[in-house]
Amino acid sequence: MLVASAAAWNTDVHNQIGFMAEKFLNPYTTSVLQQILEPQYNGSIGRAAAWADAYAHTDEGAFSYQWHWIDSSDNPPAVCNLHYNRDCTEGGCVVSAIANQTQILKECIDDVKSGSLTGGTNLTCSYALKWASHFLGDIQQPLHASGIAAGGNFFNVTFGNKSTELHAVWDGYIVYADAEVTKFSNLSIAPFFTSLVSRIHKDDFFMPTSEWLSCIDPSTPIACAMKWARESNEWTCDYVYSQIFNNTDLATSGYATGAYPIVELQISKAALRLGTWLNKLVEGRYKPDRQVVLRTNPSWVDGPSGGA
């Protein structure tokens, strides 16, 4: 997915996912995270959640660019699937990034508890928290678990009489249309996300919230992140590329309306999973003796004799 404009969810959506997640943090988790984040964020993962996109487009942060997605080998609407060792390329992907940054965060949290880390003075730790907060949002966006047309960045469409690409439609256009807020208006999109928090508490989605947390163990980050990525990838076949576009305007063709429940679900999953993930990390509710061994592009990808 080598394209300069790639970003999962736009800045507002990423920030709002972070603010939503804060509603699910317990007070102790909040107090610990305040010591990890750099002071300019005022202890708020919502304020920090969009940082990773901007950082990836700097010379310093260019290495992290490909961490924002995992590329599938799909043929929608017939076949959509993901496999870690096939689709997480050398250099990493959103799944390995979640796993790596989770491992770093564990040590950072221990440092806060021991008193050796205060005031967001360790940039490695602050970056790990910002990346984790971002990537748990990224992985829920269907086109960041899809390799077709560079995650839809090269798939040209029309939305609201504007020429754009399918990736941007799922990043923000659909969300703003669902919230009935024009991107450049004076209206705030925040109430839309506040309503999603209320719906999470009421379990008011077409998929029970209990199922969202069926894999939420920080000691098995690859397994859980792959489960989340596969859920997102399924939408590639089930909806994103499920119909013939024929140059129709996706805002008025019925496509956007059909996508509303999907983006509401995926955004809400991201918020609840992020809040729960961070609570478990801070509270130590995982098996600390487990080690995560990350390997992409193993020797056998070039054939049975590849490692000989």
Residue of 157, 295, 149, 136 whose CA lies nearest to 231: 136
Structure tokens at 129: 């928290």
Give per-residue pLDDT as tens, 5-34: 334 468 899 999 999 999 999 999 999 999
pLDDT band at 56 (very low <50, low <70, confident <90, very high): very high
Structure tokens at 29: 């988790």
pTM of structure: 0.90
Give residue 278's pLDDT: 98
> What is the CATH topology of the domain spanning 11-289?
P1 Nuclease (1.10.575)
Is pLDDT at 305 greater than 70 in this prediction? no
Mean pLDDT on 103-129: 98
- C-alpha distances in Å from residue 56, one per residue of 6, 99, 294: 10, 18, 22
pLDDT band at 185 (very low <50, low <70, confident <90, very high): low
Is pLDDT at 292 greater than 90 in this prediction? no
Give per-residue pLDDT as tens, 80-100: 999 999 999 889 999 999 999
Task: Supply the DSSP string of 58-109, one letter for each residue.
Answer: STTTGGGGGGG------BTTTB----HHHHS-TT--HHHHHHHHHHHHHHHH
Side-chain-side CA neighbours of 296 within 13 Å: the count stands at 20
Give per-residue pLDDT as tens, 274-283: 999 999 999 9
Is pLDDT at 308 greater than 90 in this prediction? no
Mean pLDDT on 178-200: 85
pLDDT band at 288 (very low <50, low <70, confident <90, very high): confident
pLDDT band at 302 (very low <50, low <70, confident <90, very high): very low
Residue of 66, 193, 26, 55 whose CA lies nearest to 128: 55
Mean pLDDT on 140-156: 94
Least confident of 62-71, 108-117, 243-252: 243-252
Distance CA 87, CA 195 (A): 35
Q: Identify the bridge partners of residue 156 per DSSP, sorted by sequence position.
A: 165
